[in-house]
Amino acid sequence: MGLSSSSSSYCFYSHSRILSSEPEHGGPRAAEERRVRRGLLRHWATREASWSLPQRTNVYEFGTPYKHMLDDLRRKDPELYRRNGILPMLKRNVSVKTAPQRWQENAADGTFDVVLTFEEKVFDMVIEDLHNRNHVLLKPVLVINLEVKDNHEEAAIGGRLALQLCQELETIENWEDCVDDVIINFERQNNRKLLYSISYY
Amino acid sequence: MVGVMAAVSRGKLASRINSIKQSGAADIGPKLDKLRRLRDELLAADSVLLVDFLSPILDLLSDRSGPVRKFMIHLVCKQPYLFLMLSLFAMVFVPNVLKTEPEIGAYKAAGFDRYVPVITPGRPKDRFLVGLVELACPGRVLQPCLYHGLCRISMHMMDMVVPSFSGNLMIGEIGLKHLELLPDIIPALIAALKDDTPAVARQAITCGVDIFRCSLAKVAIQGLYSSEFNESLKSSWECVLKFRDEIYSMAFKVGNDGRRLPALKFVESMVLLYTPDPNGSLEPPPDQVSEGKFEEFNVSWLRGGHPILNVRDLSAEASQNLGLLLDQLRFPSLKSHSYLVIIVLIKSLSTVARKRPAFYGRILPVLLGLDPSSSTSKGLHLAGVHHALRSAFESCLNCTHPGAAPPNNSSRIGMNSRNEWISAVVYLDSFVLQWRDRLVSALKEIKVGRPTEQATNEISENKGRAEWPGDPYVVQIHEQTQEEEEPPATIADSNVAYDDLNHARQATVHVSESVSPEDIPSAMETGYGAITSVVIDNDGVGNEIPGLALSTQDDALPEDATVSPRALAELEDANLTDLNDANQDTFTNLGRTPIELDKTQIELTQSLSTDRSEELSPKAAITDTNNMNSSTATSVGLSSQLVLPKISAPVICLADEQKDQLQQLAFVRILDAYKQVTIAGGSQVRFSILAHSGMEGHELTLRVLYRLFGEAEEDRDFFTSTTATSVYETFLRQVAETLRDSFPASDKSLSRLLGEVPYLPKSIFEMLESLCSPGSSDNDDREMHGGDRVTQGLSIVWSLILTRPPIRDACLKIALKSAVHHLEEVRMKAIRLVANKLYPLSSISEKIEDFAKEMLLSVVGDNQIELEKEADGIHAELRKDENPSSEKQPVSLAVKEISVGSHQNSASESIPSSMIAEVQRCMSLYFALCTKVVHTLTDGTVPSPDLLTTVKRLYDTKLKVLLIFPHLVNAPLDKFQVALSRVLQVTDACNACFEQRHIFSQQVLAKVLNQLVEQIPLPLLFMRTVLQAIGAFPSLGVKVYIVNRSGIHYGDPFPSRKQADMEISKAVGGIHEVRSFDKATVFQCSASDMDLYVYFFQQNPFFCEKLKLGYNKVLFEVNWHYSLPRSSIGSSHSVCDDSLKLSIQPPRPNLRYQLTAHARISESGGADDGRNSEPESD
């Protein structure tokens, strides 16, 4: 009874995107997701020979369906994007959700119990955004940052860690009372430093 | 609520519910998803459908899985029908709920009895449900006592039917809807606070916030519109207060975090509720009053008085609670807090600071002084605390409070014109900069310090774990070093302002005479140490003059040029913790000190010995919270009127302590007797003493005034408040007059006084007016109004215009009146002020223009009709004669008409010379403005011969000009506008200039551009002028280096290309791409993923511009359009200007930049060879 922990809603948030509300899938995908963006940016920075970047850069608006990105990149240079792993990643994303979403516009998704970010910058943004909203419900939300390096290997590890963290959070009844211990344990077990904070809806 | 769904089909609902029921207990996730959809459908469904599906829906309430049940409870609470039904349904399981006779009677009377017998355990629920739904149909009003029953039911449900959490929620809902039931509900909620399950307690507190706000609003509104209160509302309110106290005690008691956190949030919301929202409405919204909604509340509604709620008490309570919150972050309580509590405290305080800027000065010192590293005993997450602090500081930096706002117009004006009027502005800015610097340096410390601390921590914590995989902070160090780039811009900014400040400060120091420059360093050496000891050694009446330390430091600045503001800020920070400790000691000491002085003295002592750091507060009136008994706790509720920067007086530490003490005592007496003094008359002497006693006097005077103002505003009854108002006015006027009469005109005391008092009564405006426009009233002492006095008056008016926007218009009126004064000396002074200082202020320039035009027109105004009669001929003539010099005839005609019809001075008809003087009086302002405009156009350059002759024509003989202009004005509007717009045509003017290559040589242009670039803000069309100039002289060496932050900072031009490259790669960490064109080189540099820098270089001339796009641009397309349209001047304004805007727009986090492509570089091959190379546009 009480606040059954299995009902906690999660938000995985990486580079301004909400990726999934299912804890068991969100982690790894979140990290991968970010790679899409980073990959593209980096791609722009290193590969584009022309300085006139707008016409040659692949930057997509939030809300652009993954399907569209996939088709677009396939058309442009299938070999390149397959080699650098972006196409397979997009394919997986298509099966998760339609399009990347933006945290700042997620009010319609309701409240979350836990928000997990994978980059400190993003953590900052979430905290700031929550801080600036009007706290009407006074419903607490736990925001955790698990720093994940931006490459395939780390993303895979980060995904597993995220899942583990969520599972551990599920086991506690009232996170307000004992989240410190959970986090400290998690940090010890995995040699990771987490950043976490509490905000209110 | 989710959007309207047209019609939810019966079949769909049925299948949805079925599928939910059938799905197994294992997969909760999908089940909850289905429930969410069901919720959306149900909320959109009509009551008929609900009735049909009630039974299956309620079945879900007894689902095996907890989450499903919880969800259903939420759902039921949202749907009124379902809610009611659930409550009644609970009766099935709760026999004997309806205990009292009236309850049972009402129940039966409502006809419920037919469907649900009062005591019916174990009956099949289907039947009840159907019946209940019928009962709950719209339009049926339930008796209040039935609601009592429902409450009881809900309370029982906590234990029996549903998770207590939900029962609690339900009580909250009922309470919200029926505030009169609160006496019954509140005890249940108070009991819930102590519930074993933290979630229940949390829910109770959350409900409490809503209930409290609503009942407060209801009580407030009721009291505003009627003086009578019904008993039930009174008792409800008392219950609510009891509840509030319970939550308070939870908030400040060490214990279970789960309960404490929401309790702290409750305190935060209390502080916010009890203090006026500067952005809120001053009256309750009409719908709240008429429809009985009590969602919003702003304590400002109660300004006019309220039978139960006293604004002052509320403010005092808020202030006290804020003090308690602040104490939580001080030692020793800080040590006992858990990580989350500290985080919530920091966030709450920063929220309060942000939403109630009046508290800014109290909260910030505590946050700045917070040193989480000293309370690491519990393995505190330092990084997280630093992080929260950083966010708090950042949000405080963005605060729009006048005292916290970044220096803008005022400082810029100050920077441009170092004249005698500077001091008021600089005082304000110095205050602003203190906060900004401290915040910025604290932010820097956090950013720099954190990774190191983190690393140390981690190393010590994880000994023997050499294979630490990918420590995130190692990466971040680099990023953060890069980020450091921005703050220096601000610092540099403040340096500039400080330079100016020093000038003014020195001047002030000399004026006040009591200070010799030698004192200053010693004062600084004693610094905080001395003061702290004074504070602790508390038997003196209050040696510690507020702001002493601060002003000492400020004054010390000029003495030591190497002391940067940042260093100062750090120094202050370093001392802050000590100070806080010392303050706590002070308070305890104060508490123990036997009352040996009379009451006023005690008050004074208390108010003077408030938290030193808090004395930096922008708000003078907030006295310390810990002294709630002190009646000097001036109403915080007035802060909207009182948010004046608390400017620390440049007090110099007196060597002789006793002397100081004596002086202090004298003030206390004066203060004590101020009322008698005013009544008894003969107060001149004492006021003179006050005025003469310099800055401490200033401090005291302000306190007295604020106190009086508070009394007046409090409006206890008509008599008191009127008395207080009149005493306030008399006192202020007398002090002001004494200041005016006893000090030389160059003294700034009067200006300061008027800048800082709570408000300016009419008499002060009159006094100012007589200062600025001598001779207008009869009793003016001729001697007193020398030119200096006018200057003094005008400078006061100017500083008031800058610092007190609400009275801007009134002050402007005074200045304008002075600008048409009959004495030329006075007029010229005022015109200089108006044209040079006030006219550039965009907010009032229009009014000045209007006034000038009006005065101009007033000279000829009455002739309009007559003129129009003769218009045809004249206009024809005018059209023929474009050249003004050939307009002799119409001019003379106009003169005649003016002389005939001048309503300004009918007596002047026969005396042409005085008439001309009169005309001159009215018009000189207008011409000054015109000259100003023309001057702006040419802006320090040698004006073009064309302009020169034009201006000459206008200027040579004033009379001639005077005569031409009215005629121009009288000319048809379109022609007049054409003439005006021709004068205003910047581009054309520049064009005309640039064509005169022998006058506007390359050297001249270079100098001009260098001057232009110094201006803040950049002159209109600046970039365009630069481009034009480069177009005219391609070899011109113009170097502009723009770094963008909150403004523009102009670096030194790079002497060489090589150095520029080095500078830039140093700044951005590498150049990714270089592309050269004929005459321009474009670099694309990316410092990090966050920022994009684009540089443009004009090789020779070398023109560099750096464009930095902000952080968090999810997408951007930069097509920096850059063109040198030498051959097509005037054709592409907009494009150029857009580009310019693009470059000076400060990066704003959280905003997605969507900069769309403009065009391409069109390289300045120019008209010579007619070649335009357009590099790769797609």
* Whole-complex ipTM: 0.73
Q: How far is A177 from chain B (nearest CA, A)?
A: 5
Cβ-based contacts of A61 with chain B (< 8 Å): 1114-1115
Instruction: Supply B629's token pair.
Output: 């008994």
3-state secondary structure of B418: coil
The β-bridge relationship of strands B1048-1050 and B1071-1076 is unpaired
Residues facing B1161 on adjacent strands? B1122
Distance CA B697, CA B664 (A): 9
Position B913 confidence tier, pLDDT thresholds 50, 70, 90 = low
User: Which pLDDT belongs to residue B65?
Assistant: 66
Beta bridge partners of A10: A114
**Percentage above 90 pLDDT, chain B:** 0
Among B47-56, B667-676, B965-974, B1108-1117, the range scoring the smallest mean pLDDT is: B1108-1117
Helical ranges in B358-421 per DSSP H: 360-369, 382-397, 409-416
Nearest Cα to Cα of residue B220 among B152, B134, B163, B281: B281
Element (H, E) at B1008: helix B1002-1014
End-to-end C-alpha distance for chain A, whole angstroms: 23
Residue A95: pLDDT band with limits 50, 70, 90? confident
Q: In what order do the strands lie in the sheet with A194-200?
A: A17-18, A10-14, A114-117, A140-146, A194-200
Q: What is the pLDDT of residue B770?
A: 84
A contacts of B165 (beta carbons < 8 Å): 2-3
The Cα diameter of chain B in Å comes to: 111
Cα–Cα distances in Å, from B270 out to B180, B237, B245, B276, B1022? 21, 15, 11, 12, 51
CA distances from B223 to B215, B216, B227, B269 (A): 12, 11, 6, 22
Find where tokens 């990066």 sit.
Answer: B1147
Return the percentage of chain B with pLDDT > 70, whole number: 33
Q: What is the pLDDT of residue B267?
A: 92
Which one is predicted more confidently, B1126 or B1029? B1029
- Over residues B1005-1052, the pLDDT tens digits come to 777 766 665 555 555 555 556 666 666 665 554 333 332 222 222 333
User: In 3D, which of B1013, B907, B1008, B899 has the Cα closest to residue B962?
Assistant: B899
- Which residues 193-212 of B are in CB contact (within 8 Å) with A? 197-199, 202, 205-206, 209
Give the residue, B460 or B685, on which the prediction is more confident.
B685
Let me know: does B608 contact B477? Beta carbons within 8 Å: no
- Residue B783 touches partner A, C-beta closer than 8 Å: no
The answer to whether the CB atoms of A2 and B1157 lie below 8 A apart is no
pLDDT of B40 higher than 50? yes
pLDDT at B1160 over 50: no
Biggest alpha carbon–alpha carbon distance for chain A: 62
Q: Count other C-beta atoms under 10 Å from residue B22's C-beta.
A: 8
Task: Tell me the pLDDT band of A49, cut-offs 50, 70 and 90.
Answer: very low
- Cα angle, residue B360 at apex, residues B359 and B365 outer, rounded to 5°: 110
**Helix segments in B674-804, DSSP class H:** 674-680, 684-692, 694-714, 718-742, 749-756, 762-772, 787-803
Helix axes B144-159, B101-109, angle to 10 degrees: 110
**Whole-number Å distance between alpha carbons of B177 and B186:** 14
Is B376 at the interface with chain A, CB within 8 A? no
Whether A197 and B387 lie within 8 Å, measured CB to CB: yes
**What pLDDT digit, counting tens, does each position of B406-464 carry?**
333 333 333 333 333 333 333 334 444 556 667 777 777 766 544 434 433 433 333 33
Q: Do B265 and A138 touch (CB under 8 A)?
A: yes
Contact A25, A195 (CB under 8 A): no
Residue B676 or B957, more confident: B676
Q: Token pair for residue A98?
A: 């339609």
- Percent helix, strand, coil in chain B (nearest 5)? 65, 5, 30
- Supply the pLDDT for residue B936: 61
Nearest in space to A22 (alpha carbons), one of B2, B16, B75, B33? B33
- The pLDDT confidence band at residue A14, using thresholds 50, 70 and 90, is very low
Question: What pLDDT does residue B416 have?
Answer: 36
Local confidence band at B625 (pLDDT 50, 70, 90 cut-offs): very low
* Residue B916 reports pLDDT greater than 80: no
Side-chain-facing half-sphere of B905: CA atoms under 13 Å: 18
pLDDT at B700: 72
Q: Are the Cβ atoms of B1089 and A41 closer than 8 angstroms?
A: yes
Instruction: Tell me which of A197-201, B46-50, B567-571, B1131-1135 is least confident.
Output: B1131-1135
User: Angle at which helices B257-274 and B198-225 pack, to 10 degrees?
Assistant: 10
CB < 8 Å & 24+ apart, contacts of B672-675 = B672/B598, B672/B600, B672/B601, B674/B704, B674/B727, B674/B731, B675/B727
Take residue B1048 and report the two structure tokens written for it.
Answer: 């523009």
Q: Token pair 């008016």 is at which residue? A: B797
Per-residue pLDDT tens for B962-1006?
A: 455 555 555 566 666 665 555 445 556 666 666 667 666 777 777
**CA dist., res. B3 & res. A196, Å (int):** 34
Give the residue among A171, A164, A156 at the shortest CA–CA distance from A190. Answer: A164
Measured CA to CA, the distance from residue B890 to residue B878 in angstroms comes to 8
Q: What is the mean pLDDT of residues A182-191?
A: 89
- Name residues 63-122 of chain A within 8 A of B (Cβ): 102, 104, 120-121
For B70-138, what is the HEC assignment? Answer: HHHHHHHHHCHHHHHHHHHHHHHHCCCCCCCHHHHHHHHHCCHHHHCCCCCCCCCHHHHHHHHHHHCCC
Name residues 2-31 of chain A within 8 A of B (Cβ). Answer: 2-4, 6-7, 16, 22
Is residue B137 within 8 A of residue B47, CB to CB? The reply is yes
pLDDT digits (tens, 9 = 90+) for B174-206: 556 556 667 766 776 777 777 666 766 777 787
Question: How many Å lie between the alpha carbon of B783 and the closest alpha carbon of chain A?
Answer: 59
- From B261, B473, B1149, residue closest to A140, measured CB to CB: B261
Look at residue B1147 and give its three-state secondary structure: coil
Model pLDDT, residue B1064: 44
A69-93 pLDDT per residue, tens: 899 888 888 888 888 888 888 888 8
Structure tokens, B900 = 């005939």
Provide the chain B residues 209-238 that lie in CB contact (below 8 A) with chain A. 209
Reported as half-sphere exposure (CB side, CA atoms, 13 A), residue B1157 has a value of 10
Tokens 């580079």 appear where? A15
pLDDT at B538: 35
Q: Which of B116-130, B249-263, B376-390 has the highest mean pLDDT?
A: B249-263
Q: Which of B382-391, B869-878, B971-980 has the lowest mean pLDDT?
A: B869-878
What local confidence, expressed as pLDDT, does residue B569 receive?
A: 41
How many C-alpha atoms does B1101 have within 13 Å on its Cβ side?
22
Note the pLDDT of residue B1010.
65
Examine the pLDDT at B394 and tell me if it is beyond 70.
yes
pLDDT at B52: 61
Token reading at B668: 């206390």
CB within 8 Å: A102 and B1114: yes
Q: Does B464 touch chain A (CB under 8 A)?
A: no
Q: Exposed/middle/buried for B680, CB within 10 Å: 0-12, 13-18, 19+?
A: exposed
Identify the pLDDT of residue B651.
46
User: In the predicted model, what is the mean pLDDT of chain B?
Assistant: 56
Two tokens at B219? 């009580």
Whether the pLDDT of residue A184 is over 60: the answer is yes
